Amino acid sequence: SQSFQVLSDLHLEVGQQYFSFSIPPSAPYLILAGDIGCLVDYDSYLSFLAQQTARFETVFLVLGNHEFYELSYLTGLATARKLALEPVLRGKLVLLHQTRYDVPTSTISILGCTLWSRIPESARPRVQTALNDFRKVEGWTIDSHNTAFEFELGWLKAQVADIQKENEAIAKHHTGGQEQRKILIVTHHAPTMEETAHPHHAGSDLSSAFATSLLTDEDRSWEQSDVKMWIFGHTHYTNTFKKSGIEVMSNQRGYVYP
């Protein structure tokens, strides 16, 4: 069956919980939506993933901001790519870094990336001081964060448009009973500021570091797209709601001190 188990923000780097944290499978596919741990803890991170690939058919991993801690962004990406190729994972880990993955024997296309967020000029000073990312990720700045966001958002929109075209062609030609594809997006950062964080964070200066208002009433493009579900993390708030015709959901653990 095409059912997915979703988890994010396990933060296994806190007290090195890579070996003790267990995920009892309730679906064939596991989606890890970022901040699972830090890639600098390479061997521990790998052994945690190996436990999951042994139990699940496929494990999907989106990189969160914490994955890059103590590394530069590019070193982090290279490390993640190396990790995905480790023989112990038997090819069952799919790294979702600007990646489209068509789930075999299904009509589901997964689009995954970190996403980052759009930090406005007015929020810069506060975000700069409050966020560890700019101290913990080598050479990472608000500019790099914003640039990465615009790039990944552009990539996402282009992929959604491509699938739209494929679906239009299928509808037009009725090719051999081929069904139109449904899109599942997985990002670490959140696609809307509404309902993605605990209500006590409403209106916080820091919100723009966690979420961006993409799913708005002004932008109908998401609603008219084939995106059915959007999974996010980063906000340490678990919720499921409907926005712009899309089911938005998260299942986040947050910091748990052993």
Model pLDDT for residues 83-130, shown as the tens digit of each residue: 999 999 999 999 999 999 999 999 999 999 999 999 999 999 999 999
> Among candidates 203, 206, 194, 258, which has minimal Cα distance to 232?
194
In a domain, 257, yes or no: no
Three-class SS of residue 184? Answer: strand
**CA 117 from chain center: how many Å?**
12
pLDDT score, position 158: 98
The full 3-state SS of 119-143, as one line of letters, equals CCHHHHHHHHHHCCHHHHCECCCHH
- Which of 21-30, 35-44, 153-162, 191-200 is least confident? 191-200
pLDDT band at 62 (very low <50, low <70, confident <90, very high): very high
pTM over 0.75, yes/no: yes
- Tell whether 27 is covered by a domain: yes
Q: Domain of 191: which CATH number?
A: 3.60.21
Q: Count other Cβ atoms within 10 Å, centred on residue 186.
A: 28
pLDDT of amino acid 238: 96
Q: What is the pLDDT of residue 101?
A: 99
Element (H, E) at 111: strand 108-113
In this prediction, residue 258 carries a pLDDT of: 80
Question: Would you state the structure tokens that stand for residue 208, as one six-digit string?
Answer: 């723009």
Range of the structural domain that residue 79 is part of: 4-250
Confidence check: pLDDT of 38 > 60: yes
Neighbours of 66 (CB within 10 A): 25
Residue 87 lies in a domain: yes
How many CA atoms within 13 Å lie on the side-chain side of 55? 15
| 197 within domain boundaries | yes
Longest dimension (CA), the chain: 57
What is the number of domains present in the chain?
1
Strand partners, 228: none
Tell me whether residue 144 is in a domain: yes
Instruction: Kindly state whether residue 113 falls inside one of the protein's structural domains.
Output: yes
Q: Is residue 255 part of a domain?
A: no
Q: What is the pLDDT of residues 195-234, one digit of tens each?
A: 999 888 888 889 999 999 999 888 889 999 999 999 999 9
Rounded CA gap, 9 and 37, in Å? Answer: 8
